[in-house]
Amino acid sequence: MEIPEVDVDVAAERLAEGTALFMDVRDRGSYEASHIPGAVHVSDANIEDFLEETDHNQPVIVYCYHGNNSRGGTAFLLQKGFQTVCSMAGGFEAWRGKHPEQNGPE
């Protein structure tokens, strides 16, 4: 399966437009310390709730630390019937480097 990816600049445009839900798959402590504004933290503990409560037609951008684990999360959501999902290339570290003004806790 080819995993769709989006670069951080396109992700930032989607954040500004409000056209995508951001899913953070890093550990809870990293999420709490810093994350993309409005991002939802998803882990094994709450993935079932996320699947039940989230509109499968809602575009989702999945991110992790460096863009590796988010590819697996993207594949998982696609297999679960989400229509528009992509992994953010370079992960949160790439985001932090290009968009430092948007990487704090809410």
Positions annotated as catalytic residues are 64
Other residues' Cβ atoms within 10 Å of the Cβ of residue 63 = 31
Tell me how far apart the alpha carbons of residues 94 and 7 are, in angstroms, rounded to a whole number: 9
Tell me how far apart the alpha carbons of residues 7 and 10 are, in angstroms, rounded to a whole number: 6
Rounded to 5 degrees, what are φ and ψ at 34?
-170, 135
